[in-house]
Structure 1
Amino acid sequence: MYTPPFPLAQPSRLKLSGDEFASTGIRAVDACCSPVKLSLPRAKRRARLSELDHHLHCSIIGTCLSTHELRKLVPKFTDLDRRDASDLEIHHSAVELAIEGGAAAKALHKLLDERYSGAIRRFDKAADDAELLKLWDEALKSGDIPPAYWALMTHPFATMPVRQKAFGDLHMLSHLVGAANRADIRRLVALEEENAALKEKIERQQSRLQELSIERDASAAAFDEQLAQLQARQLPADAAGLQAELEHLRERLADADQRVALHTSRREAAEQRMQQEQEAALALRRSHDQALALLKLVQSECDALERATVDAASASHGSEARRASLDGVHGKRIVYVGGRPGSNAALKRLVEAAGGELVVHDGGVEDRKGLLAAALPGADIVVFPVDCVDHDSMNTLKRICERHSIDYHPLRTASVASFVELIARLHPEHVAQLRNPPPPAFCLRHG
């Protein structure tokens, strides 16, 4: 994103040098633009969750609280079902409760304070915003992000520039998640091979234990039989020899019992490790399936974008071929809410070249939110990227679209490919062209 999804503050309060401003990504401002000095940033109490900027609630709840914890807390204040509600619905409801304040926001704040009390005590030692940034950088290096993020956001000395830097660092970390997919796949294969080896080893140990148990039972039976024979004969002269043999048999029996106990403990430890490896392999397989699903979606977006590029090239060379990839927007008025300035400009040119009209609203970053309600009526389609629009604008456009019976469609990202793939998906006649493109006019053999 070019800017965070909330208005930038003027960081005039940070007492940092030029190099420190460059390292934190915070720009200095002129004295005329400095905000009025207030006593609130130097307050001794920590900020409440409901007092924070509502654009920060999504990142705080998504990073610092797990879905399992939210499923136990959110249904107490909403009509959502704890088992049937999706993870996205639970997350959206938690963000809305935090924005509204009240008992639900207090419960969320209490849960976060109890879970990250250690980090809060560690950050309370910071005497100014520079020390806060130093503690935050240390947390980034150690990878302990959620406790440090909550402690920083509610700290009495956390200014808006400090919160913006923490938000930006957290946002960039989300782009690094997909980098570990290939390593996870290799680990999954290694775990499956190790799991097979453990199973084979356990089978060998179980067969060995069974053989030892049979040997012990046979030895005990032979001992009982010999003892019975000796008692029946009652030969006093051989009492010493019988006593020695009896002691020998008892030692063999005790040794057999020790060996059985040792192999039993090894078998139990191997079974426990195999169970842990199976759970880890299952988790990696689920992650692999999610990565494959995302790969298929990205492939469909790339196919749609490639088709649109080919059609645009054909039209620019004077070909009579129709722009089949964007025929669905011809003569229609499309409202695009959110997104990035660069991709929005490219989308506007594509739609206008295809004979349509694209009205762009950034969701309230620079455009007034009051213009959103005026732009939606009369639109044929409303589109918004879920990764680049705030919750308030998304809820507003949903209500207005339902009121005016306007179709609205979410996009996976704010990219041009996601928009072109949506247009192709809304018009089934384009799907056949994407899956079965016409044969090329250029022959690979004869030119």
Structure 2
Amino acid sequence: MHTPPFRLAQTTDAAVRTGDDARLRAADACCVPSSVQLTRGRRRGKLSELDPHLHCSVIGTCLTTHELRKLVPKFTELDRQQASDLQIHHAAVELAIAGGTGSKALNKALDERYAGAIRRFDQATDEEAVLALWNEALKIGDIPPAYWALMTHPYATMPVRQSAFGELHMLSHLVGAANRADIRRLVALEEENAALRDKVERQQSRLREVSAERDTMVEQLTERIVKLTAQATLQPSIDSAELAAEMQTLQQKLAESEQRLALHTNRREAAELRAQEEQGIAEALRQSRDQALALLKVVQAECHALESATLNALDQGGARRAGLENVRGMRVVYVGGRPGSNTALKALVSSAGGEFVVHDGGVEDRKGLLAAALPGADIVVFPVDCIDHDSMNMLKRVCERHQVDYYPLRTASVASFIELIARVHADRTPVANARPPSAFCLRHG
């Protein structure tokens, strides 16, 4: 898969030839491809010269949130402590698209961090060599340095960049599949961690006993050596050979006791170190499990809403359509989404007596129509996985200006829409200016 999993706007060659840079920069960093070849000369490209739909993947893959929190607030009005990870990511993407000092600072940070990978990729003199280095990096898992070096390489053409983008996109899907294995491994590690704790406690108890026995034995042997030395001094007639043999035996026992003590000490330290490492791994897997469970709860809620709506429709003999009777007489504006699910949603809302207005966020419909459609809406709905940054920001500003409630959907599916309508009907509290329920973006991380 070499393109994003949603419909893309097509940039004509005429727009490229006339240098319509303002429109290209205004496009979403994740959703608009371009056929412009940015690196026509044999020099490394810049971040601002990349196609806009590549900026999101470059920022999200090659720079950590900690680095972005130190850099992005210098060029925006975001608060370094209060801003969410998603807001920091969006601001970084916008800086990269806009160019200027912010984009230059991001470009400099990437060049400094991945200088080694850039030097390694400089040895490539054609597209095949660039792809060979990229495939080698994929095998060893060293993706961020190789991704930046490839995107700015002078021989990286658009097919090469799209190939790397597609492989990186597919890797993100493997994370969800790995969560189940991580949960099973977490359970096993927790059991092993508990067993190791018990073993460490037993070894520590045994070590204390051995240490006490050793101290007692050392005291006894020391007293005996002192007595024997005194007797040898007072009674020269005692056989010196027997005394020397007994002293040697006592010294051997003392050395053996010290060796056993050192062995138990080393075992205890190794067990404690392993327990600490396993505890860290268990904590990381516990966090992954919590995220997976949170996503599972959301999906279960959507499935429950869809099932309830279906049963209601069957009980009423088709009088109500999929539990959407709450939208009767309402005007719903749906921004983004996919053509198939949008058609189904429009049919459901229309059959329930409501008006359903669809705007694709600027892919084919003009964005000016979006600003004109929002003021007369009762509610505005947009799926976070199928809408670009620019349309979402403009949508929020217009809704706040006209005091129209807006709601984010987890996905563009019919189940997510039905679950939202049921939740809004159950909770009559206005949620205008509401923020998304989670700062975790399903598309950007």
TM-score band by shorter chain is: 0.7 to 0.9
Q: Distance in 2 between matches of 1:429 and 1:200?
A: 50
- Alpha-carbon distance, 1:276 to partner: 0.8
For 2:384, give the aligned amino acid. Answer: V
**Identity level (%):** 70
Question: CA contact under 8 A between 1:4 and 1:164: conserved in structure 2?
Answer: no
**Aligned residue for 1:18?**
none
Name the counterpart of 1:237: 237
Deviation at 1:270, TM superposition (A): 0.8
Gaps of 5+ in 2: 14-34, 429-445
Structure 2 Cα separation of the partners of residues 9 and 308 of structure 1: 44
Is contact 1:311-1:321 (8 Å) kept? no
Aligned counterparts, 1:319-358, within 5 A: 319=317, 321-323=319-321, 325-358=323-356
Number of the residue aligned with 1:299: 300
The offset of 1:301, in angstroms, is 0.8
Q: 1:139: how far off? A: 3.9
Name the counterpart of 2:382.
384
Paired with 1:384 and 1:44, the residues of 2 have a C-alpha distance of: 43
CA distance in 1: counterparts of 2:167 and 2:364, whole angstroms = 23
How much has 1:274 moved relative to structure 2?
0.4
Partner of 2:362: 364
Equivalences, count: 401
- In 2, the alpha carbon distance for the partners of 1:237 and 1:213 equals 38
With over 3 angstroms needed to count, the CA separation of the structure-2 counterparts of 1:285 and 1:137, relative to structure 1, is same
- The answer to whether the 8 Å contact 2:381/2:407 transfers is yes
Question: Which residue number in structure 2 is paired with residue 67 of structure 1?
Answer: 65
2:425 matches 1:424:
no
Listed as ranges, the matches of 1:41-52 within 5 Å are: 41-52=39-50
The residue type paired with residue 421 of structure 1 is E
Alpha-carbon distance in 2 for matches of 1:146, 1:246? 67
SS at match of 1:127: coil
- Write the distance in 2 (CA, Å) between the matches of 1:131 and 1:341: 40
Distance 1:231 1:122, change over 3 A: closer
Cα separation, 1, equivalents of 2:224 and 2:357:
101
CA contact (8 A) 1:60 1:149 kept: yes
Alignment match of 2:212 (pick from 211, 214, 223) = 214
| C-alpha distance in structure 2 between counterparts of 1:351 and 1:182, whole Å | 37
* CA 1:277–1:212: 2 relative to 1, 3 Å: same
- Partners of 2:424 and 2:403 lie apart in 1 by 17
Q: Which has the higher contact order (CA 8 A, sep 6+)?
A: 2
Q: Which residue of 1 aligns with 2:254?
A: 253
Question: Following superposition of structure 1 onto structure 2, how do residues 172-183 of structure 1 map, counting pairs within 5 Å?
Answer: 172-183=170-181
Secondary structure of the 1:237 match is: coil
> Which 10-residue stretch deviates more, 126-135 or 143-152?
126-135
> What TM-score, normalized to structure 1?
0.81
| Greater mean deviation of Cα atoms: 76-85 or 369-378 | 76-85
Aligned ranges 1:56-95 → 2 under 5 Å: 56-95=54-93
Q: Does 1:277 align with 2:278?
A: yes
Q: Could you give the per-residue CA deviations for residues 158-204 of structure 1, whole angstroms, max 9, x where no partner exists?
A: 33343333333322332222112221122112112211221222223
TM-score with structure 2 setting the length: 0.82
State the partner residue of 2:162: 164
For residues 65-111 of structure 1, what are the alpha-carbon distances to aligned partners after superposition, in whole Å with 9 as ceiling and x for unaligned?
22222233333334444343322222222222222333332222222
Aligned residue in 2 for 1:149: 147
CA change 1:241–1:65 in 2 (3 A) is same
Q: CA deviation at 1:386?
A: 1.1
Name the amino acid aligned to 1:121.
R
Q: CA deviation at 1:142?
A: 4.3
Pair 1:170–1:358, CA change in 2 (3 A)? farther
State the Cα distance separating 1:404 from its structure 2 match: 1.3
CA distance in 2, matches of 1:51, 1:158: 13
Q: Partner amino acid for 2:96?
A: A
Q: Displacement, 1:320?
A: 6.7
Against the structure 1 CA distance between its residues 131 and 329, is the aligned structure 2 distance closer, same or farther, given a 3 Å change threshold? farther
**Is the alpha carbon distance of 1:225 and 1:132 closer, same or farther for their aligned partners in structure 2, counting shifts above 3 Å?**
closer
| Code of the aligned partner of 2:341 | S
Amino acid in the other structure paired with 1:264: T
Q: Which structure 1 residue ranges, 5 or more long, are not aligned?
A: 11-34, 431-447
Alpha-carbon distance in structure 1 between the residues aligned to 2:76 and 2:321: 47
Number of the residue aligned with 2:435: none
Q: Which moved more, 1:297-306 or 1:164-173?
A: 164-173
Deviation at 1:291, TM superposition (A): 1.1
CA distance in 2, matches of 1:167, 1:237: 94
Range that drifts further, 306-315 or 165-174: 306-315
| Structure 2 CA distance for aligned equivalents of residues 133 and 224 of structure 1 | 74
Specify the alignment match of 1:14 in structure 2: none
The answer on whether the counterparts of 2:137 and 2:143 sit within 8 Å (CA) in structure 1 is yes
CA distance in 1, matches of 2:140, 2:223: 69
State the partner residue of 1:32.
none
Measured in 1, the distance between the counterparts of 2:229 and 2:140 equals 75
How far apart in 2 are the matches of 1:143 and 1:208? 44
- Match for residue 397 of structure 1? 395
